[in-house]
Amino acid sequence: MKMVMPKMGMTMEEGTIVEWKKREGEFVEKGEIILEIMTNKVNIEVEAPASGFLKILRGVDDVVLVGEVIASIEEKVPEAVEKAEVSRAMEDVPWKEPEFKPVRQEREVVEISVQEERTPASPRARRVAEDYGVLLENVRGTGPDGAVTEGDVLSYVGKRKSQEAFQSGLPGVSPLAERIAREKGIDLSRIKGTGLEGKITKEDVFRYMEEREKPERPRMQKELEPEKPGIEKEREPEIPRIEKEREPEIPRIEKEREPEIPRIEKSSEIELEQAIEKPMIRPEPVSQLPPIQTGATLAEPEHRVEEPIMHLEKPLGPEPEGKTLPLTGIRKLTAERMSRSKREAPHLTLGMDVDMTEASNLKTSLAVTYTDILVKAVALALRTHPQLNSTLSENRIVLRDTINIGIAVARGEDLLVPVIHRADALSLKKISQATADIIERTRKDQLKDTDVLDGTFTISNLGMYDIDFFTPIINPPEAAILGVGRITPRPVVVRNRIEIREIATLSLSFDHRIVNGVPAALFLKEVRNLLEHPYRLLMEEEP
Amino acid sequence: MITILGGGPGGYTAAIRAVQLGAEVTLLEKEEVGGTCLNWGCVPSKVFLKGSKMYSQLKFAESYGVFAKPSPFDMRRLGERKNEVKQALVMGLKNVLRSYGVNIVHGEGRMIDEHTVVGPGGNIACDKIILATGCQPEVPHLFQELSVTYKDVFQLQYLPRSVLVVNGGVFAVEMAWFFLELGSQVTMVAENVLERDFEDIETRIASYLQNRGVKFVQGRIASIKKQGEQKLVEIGEEEIIAEELIWMNRKRVLEGIPRKLVQHESVAVNEHMQTAFPAVYAVGDITGSYTAGDAMAQGVVAAEHAMGNTTAYNPRTVPKVLYAPEAAVIGLTEREASEEYDVVKGNFPYGASGRAQTVGAIRGRVTILADKKYGEILGAHIVGKGASELIQLIGFAMRLEATIDELSSLLCAHPTMVEMIRDAGLDIHGNAFNLPRK
Ligand SMILES: Cc1cc2nc3c(=O)[nH]c(=O)nc-3n(C[C@H](O)[C@H](O)[C@H](O)COP(=O)(O)OP(=O)(O)OC[C@H]3O[C@@H](n4cnc5c(N)ncnc54)[C@H](O)[C@@H]3O)c2cc1C
């Protein structure tokens, strides 16, 4: 009777053979557990469909489609088995199998031949070896002519004991490694641990991820593929993750999961068009940047991108004509994130004029930049408006406990958002140092992954490109983004008189699922207040 | 067959572990097993600190209703007590080594090639060699006559009323503290008060010393002159007068080791403690570490690797302890941690602990550093009573790769010092039970 890979659930398409609980040729009873398979990371025990002798057709670790034959249950002892038994009998003396008469015959012969070339050993050594079930050949003899002594056996046993102490059979995993694996969506059963008794450590997880990232691993890719649909949600593509020493700026998480999308497909640029839903202005550089040299940097992304990163749905309709640019690297990631943001988060944008005259004075007297002042003002305002510093996570609004301000910075064609962590706790001077440093490193391509992680709010300044007003797109999973327009002298009414003041227009886009209009407006007002009375930004408080 | 050169904490630990794994071991020791640690370092200094502490505590006893007048301090009696402890421990160690069948050879050894050591009885052929020759006191030749080393201090027959401690580091600070507690005038000449591992608490410790009256001087000693019973020491612009000059400097013992293995006056090793010769290992002070804890950890690694295991040495999880004024550190310093991680920090002041209050040890603080993202415990520093034991718990959690939240889920008896560890962990989220709401 043939035995097939059973379907153990609605979604199961294939299963992996984890362990045969019965040996080839062994007699199995109907209903007895004979096999363990794994599907969707769950191990399932499988019973024998009939009684008879087991003939195994697919081995451990084989991935088998549902319905394919994996074994058969025969009425007679399968032929090939008899030979196999002989060799097993040699390694594994105590095992007995009364069913097979002829086999037993041969086994005795084998035993005698072992006896003949026996290892020299003292009688006491033999006794002790028998007590402990030790094979004398494995013990190094230190007695006369290399004979094994009682002491040799005991120290061999001691060695084995101390090495095998408390071996539980189930290698553990450290809590830290488990936490990291869970977040990265890694299947721990694929990792070999190097800790005590094979325990999986943090390093093991990282090493596994690193290895997995290397290209040319078709098998891996196949394994990972089925995860795609389920994982999409929790993947939470954060800010591009930039690896410190590994290949720079291929966002790690994404790359692991979806490695085999064809590279530069002709349709890529349409995907981009679709993805960004028509010319939204995409957040661009901050004030300190020199104009972008498009020509020189255009080629740059190409060499970085060994593998495609994002999966964008194929658009319908005819292909448009025109010159095409490959959608790769960070551009591709930006496209995905922006489209996701617009798709998922109902955007609402509020605009407000702010008088930057005082801020401009402060800028000159302290030799800081507008960006520094903005970061500080926004960070302080977020303290009293935590809703704007939050994340929507599975129908819950998570108020983030730190205030980490991202600054949209252009590097060549790319847009990156390095983060000033805990900006609210930093003095203006510290912020100024931090932004100068991080912008410099962004431009030099020296960002570390920690520099772009954990942003809670983004500021995008297009003032130096003469943009007065724009509607920025929220940087997911954040709740809001502040756009900053050009600062220009404008006539305004101050105490019933017309004065010339330095005015800029702020635009706050926010996720309407998280924040309503009024609190957002209040927040924006608070930001304006701080910017118009910027000396409040200088008041240091004790952390 | 494994031959081990040197019977200090590095060497004897390696010997025992190797036998446990089935090796036959010969251990060469030219002086006394136990090495610096048992004979001239950890053990004598801790007995001394116990004596000075009891003496200085008589003052505080009054506030608990105990009145006792201290008699003049008897250094000789303390020296005897130290010898008793040392002998008990050396004898115990010898018994342990003997029980394991370690072949102890008394005499100096020298390694001549990868598989040969020359001992007092001739060549010893072996599969693997573990070098563990440790450190020795060092005093510039010029100053030897008018100086004493840390070894000599443990044999002093009288209590000097003023000392100059030359060089910094944990053991020098302990030495300074010993004399402070006995009421002597103490000056320290050192570039740094403590080793780099202690950088987060160095200023705090320095201020403790200063408040107790230690004078810090920087610069090189230019001359030492005799002036009656005292010595007049010239350091830069300053002239210091002290009855004894104590040199804490230590030099690695590299005589019996091929030059090829030596780099920058220490033996270069990989994470398995292997030297440039794969069959030769080095452990302890000669590899550049400076505590017995490291020497022992390395000894285990070397023995296990020599016996075919893949063990590696991880210095991050070996705690470092200053016994007096009591403090301890483990893992990364704040600076090191912030270079690699987004660091969050939890603090707990001793004053807020019920146990610390009951034993009158309200000065101190527990600080734990963790990675914000995954909650990895990155390091910790503790200043205050019990630090030397408290730090071990954090080390254990780090070794198990427990997260900070798991560490803070500790259930404690009350009142105990360990509660401070839990609360420092909880403080990261502002949830400590014994601190006001943040
Ligand atoms: C005053 C003082 C206090 C200290 N307190 C502490 C403390 O509280 N905690 C702590 O962790 N550490 C302490 N230390 C440091 C600690 O003593 C050393 O780190 C530790 O002993 C190093 O161990 P080791 O095995 O490397 O070398 P050692 O302990 O120095 O042992 C080396 C041994 O090798 C022998 N030897 C050398 N060359 C040869 C040769 N060619 N042939 C045969 N034998 C040889 C020596 O005789 C010696 O016994 C202290 C040190 C000092 C000086």
Domain boundary among B189, B223, B248: B248
Domain range A2-96, its CATH number among 3.10.20.340, 1.10.3720.10, 3.30.70.580, 2.40.50.100: 2.40.50.100
CA–centroid distance, A321 to ligand 1, in Å, is 78
| Arithmetic mean of pLDDT, B197-202 | 96
pLDDT of residue B14: 98
Is there an atom of ligand 1 within 6 Å of B248 CB?
Answer: no
Q: What is the ipTM of this complex?
A: 0.71
- Residue B264 touches partner A, C-beta closer than 8 Å: no
Place of tokens 């300074």: B176
Tell me the residue length of chain B.
438
B100, B342, B378, B399: best to mutate for the A interface, most A CBs within 10 A: B342
> Is residue B210 in a domain?
yes
From B213, B232, B248, the end of a domain falls on B248
Q: How do residues B109-161 score in pLDDT, each as one tens digit? A: 999 999 999 999 999 999 999 999 999 999 999 999 999 999 999 999 999 99
Give the pLDDT score at A192. 83
Query: Residues B132, B6: one domain?
Result: yes
B31 lines ligand 1 (CB under 6 A): yes
Q: Are A398 and A449 in contact (CB under 8 A)?
A: no
- Say if residue B207 is in the same domain as residue B293: no
Rounded CA separation A196/A173 (Å):
10
Q: Residues of chain A whose C-beta is under 8 A from some C-beta in B? A: 142, 155-156, 158-159, 162-163, 174-177, 179-180, 183, 194-195, 201-202, 401-402, 421, 450, 453-454
**B21 at A interface, C-beta within 8 A:** yes
Residue B262 in domain? yes
Query: Is the pLDDT reported for residue B180 higher than 90?
Result: yes
For residues B162 and B242, state if they share a domain: yes
pLDDT of A322: 65
Chains A, B: CB contacts under 8 A, how many? 48
Nearest to B403 among A142, A179, A194 (CB): A179
CATH, residue B311: 3.50.50.60
Whole-prediction pTM: 0.56
**Cis, peptide link before residue B415, omega less than 30° from 0:** yes
Q: Which residue has the tokens 């939890």?
A: B346
User: Are both B29 and B86 inside the same structural domain?
Assistant: yes
Same-domain pairing of B161 and B284: no
Q: What 3 state SS string does A8-53 have? A: CCCCCCEEEEEEECCCCCCEECCCCEEEEEEECCEEEEEECCCCEE
Find the distance separating the first CA and the last CA of chain A, reported in whole Å.
Answer: 75
d(CA B374, nearest CA chain A) in Å: 7
Question: Could you tell me if the CB of B149 is within 6 A of ligand 1?
Answer: no
Is residue B432 included in any domain, yes or no?
no
Which ligand 1 atom lies nearest to the CA of residue B284? 26
The per-residue pLDDT of chain B, averaged, comes to 95
pLDDT along chain A (543 residues), means of 10: 78 79 87 81 78 88 85 78 46 44 38 51 81 80 78 73 47 86 84 81 89 59 40 42 42 40 37 36 38 36 38 47 61 76 88 92 87 93 92 83 90 83 90 90 80 89 90 90 94 88 94 91 94 81 41
What is the CATH architecture assignment of A251-539?
Answer: 2-Layer Sandwich (3.30)
**Choice among A311, A347, A421, A512 that is catalytic:** A512
Question: Residue B298 class from Cβ within 10 Å (0-12 exposed, 13-18 middle, 19+ buried)?
Answer: buried
State which of B85, B149, B249, B291 you would mutate to test the pocket of ligand 1, scoring each by most atoms of that ligand within 8 A of its C-beta: B291
Regarding whether B292 and B215 lie in a shared domain, the answer is no
pLDDT at B10 over 90: yes
CA distance A251 to chain B (A): 17
Mutate to test the pocket of ligand 1, among B29, B31, B37, B108 (most ligand atoms within 8 A of CB): B37
Q: Which residues pair with B369 in a beta bridge?
A: B345, B379
DSSP string spanning A309-375? ----PPPPSPPP-S------HHHHHHHHHHHHHHHHS-EEEEEEEEE-HHHHHHHHHHT--HHHHHH
Instruction: Give the one of A176, A195, A402 whose C-beta lies nearest to B374's C-beta.
Output: A176
Q: What pLDDT is attached to residue A16?
A: 83
Domain count, chain B: 3
The answer to whether residue B436 sits within a structural domain is no
Residue that is written with structure tokens 């794969």 in the block: B278
Q: Is residue B434 part of a domain?
A: no
State the distance from the centre of ligand 1 to the C-alpha of A456, rounded, in angstroms.
52
Mean pLDDT in residue range B31-46: 97
Contact list in B for residue A202 (CB cut-off 8 A) is 376, 401
Which of B20, B342, B376 is the closest to A454 by Cβ?
B342
Are B28 and B129 found together in one domain? yes
Mean pLDDT to the nearest integer, B5-25: 97
Residues B110, B162, single domain; the answer is no
Residues in B closer than 8 angstroms to A402, CB to CB, are 372
Which residues are CB-neighbours of A469 under 8 A, at least 6 positions away? A351, A483, A485, A505, A507
Secondary structure tally for chain A: helices H, strands E? 18, 19
Chain-chain contact of B22 with A176 (C-beta, under 8 angstroms): no
| Phi and psi, residue B15, nearest 5° | -60, -50
Q: In ligand 1, which atom is closest to the CA atom of B137?
A: 53
Query: Does any domain span residue B288?
Result: yes
pLDDT of residue A61: 81
**What domain range is B295 assigned to?**
2-136+251-315
The answer to whether A202 contacts B376, with C-beta atoms less than 8 Å apart, is yes
CA of B151 to the centre of ligand 1 (A): 12
Indicate whether B7 and B129 sit together in one domain.
yes
Residue A345: the pLDDT is 86
Last residue of a domain, one of B224, B248, B272: B248
Q: Are residues B346 and B405 in the same domain?
A: yes
| Token reading at B315 | 């210095």
B374/A163 touch (CB, cutoff 8 Å), yes or no:
no
User: Whole-angstrom Cα distance, residue B229 to residue B224?
Assistant: 13
Pair (B57, B185) in one structural domain? no
A512 is catalytic: yes
- Domain range summary for chain A, segments of one domain joined by +: 2-96, 175-213, 251-539
**Same domain? B128 vs B217:** no
**B37 Cα to the center of ligand 1, angstroms:** 5
Tell me which H or E stretch contains B136.
strand B135-137
For B57-70, what is the mean pLDDT?
86
Q: What was the pLDDT predicted at B113?
A: 94
Determine, yes or no, domain membership for B52: yes
Who among B309, B373, B406 is closest to A175 (CB)?
B406
User: Does B243 reside within a domain?
Assistant: yes
Specify the CATH number of the domain A175-213.
Answer: 4.10.320.10
